[in-house]
Structure 1
Amino acid sequence: MITIVMGVSGSGKSTVGSDLAAHLGLPFIDGDSLHPEANREKMAQGIALNDADRQPWLEAIVAAMNQHRERHQSLVIACSALKHRYRDFLRGGERDVRFVYLHGTRELLEERLRERTGHFFNPALLDSQLATLEEPSRTEAAWVEITDPPARIVEKVIRAGCAEARQAAR
């Protein structure tokens, strides 16, 4: 089972994904680490990525997912997966991919981005991400509100549909 923790920047994907993986005893990949350097530079300059920019990144994520599949290993990934077609690409027709959508208000996301340090994402891009976001349906992804502390969000994620991940981890 591959669980993809998704949402716009500032939603807590990396923190929740890492904590979820640790809780389940699974490997974790932060999708941001797979961005080509050119993407990081664009985002740091406040330039929004387009579909062509994102394609090599999505391909790198799928390659990482396939490496874990070959080892019969479950995995948690943090990845924005903003558009439906990105999620379809990540799924690739496989049945082992589950999405968890971290949902929050624009105000909360903006506050979190202002407080974040040491990340290449320029907070000025929040509106661009929100405009690009095609929220998943509640059947496509488990929706979890991000108003609680990370440990509580992880509990909600597990209750919201990642119990299968716990079984797969054993």
Structure 2
Amino acid sequence: MALSVENQPPVVVVMGVSGVGKTTVAQLLADRLGVPCAEADDFHPPANIAKMSAGIPLDDADRLPWLQAIGGWLAERKAAGTGGVVTCSALKRRYRDTLRAYCPDTFFLHLSGTPGLVGDRLSHRTGHFMPRSLLDSQYAALEPLGPDERGTVLDVGPAPRALADRAADLLRPTEPR
């Protein structure tokens, strides 16, 4: 039995600045929804990782192939009917537009926190190529979701499990009345 578009599992981008908990929440959300999960960092070419590791922000030319690869992953999950959750900073509207060009009904879950809270989290994180020094540039680049964009904003104060539960509740289809 084929699922109708309305009943297909969602395709979701968990977005926000580095350190808000995208990976943790995305994995928990994917588990709750029973869909595949991917980490946007895995889509970066080595040159991008080297640049960020050196403390140099990426420019739009660096980001385009990365966003296209993520958009392709979303489109593949949608076409397969599996749904999926992927992390991606998606800080600017035009980056989200690139992702939507591949998968128009993508839902954006924007995890948001204060610079103090997120900076503290980053300062305690080890083994990641994104340095704390680039956080201010990410907040400067951040363009909040527009009212015409499919998605929601969740404050990262609550525990990741609570955030994933809330997001799953928002994404599950409601029963017809």
TM-score higher than 0.5 here?
yes
The structure having more radius of gyration, on CA atoms, is 2
Please give the alpha-carbon distance, in whole angstroms, between the structure 1 residues aligned to 2:102 and 2:28.
27
Matches within 5 A, 1:6-45: 6-45=15-54
Gaps of 5+ in 2: 1-9
How many residue pairs match? The answer is 165
Please give the alpha-carbon distance, in whole angstroms, between the structure 2 residues aligned to 1:35 and 1:64.
13
Identity %: 42
1:46–1:93 Cα change, 3 Å:
closer
* 2:48–2:62 Cα contact (<8 Å) kept: yes
CA positional deviation for 1:68: 1.7
Gaps of 5+ in 1: none
Query: Runs in 1 of length 4+ with deviation above 3 angstroms?
Result: none
TM-score (normalised: structure 2):
0.87
Matches within 5 A, 1:94-109: 94-109=103-118
Please give the alpha-carbon distance, in whole angstroms, between the structure 2 residues aligned to 1:51 and 1:86.
9
SS of the counterpart of 1:102? strand
* 2:17–2:135 Cα contact (<8 Å) kept: yes
Please give the alpha-carbon distance, in whole angstroms, between the structure 1 residues aligned to 2:127 and 2:103.
35
Please give the alpha-carbon distance, in whole angstroms, between the structure 1 residues aligned to 2:148 and 2:105.
15
* 2:71–2:99 Cα contact (<8 Å) kept: yes
Which residue identity lines up with residue 9 of structure 1 in the other structure?
S
Tell me the residue number matched to 2:143. Answer: 134
Q: Deviations over 1:13-41 (max 9, x none)?
A: 11100110011111001111101111111
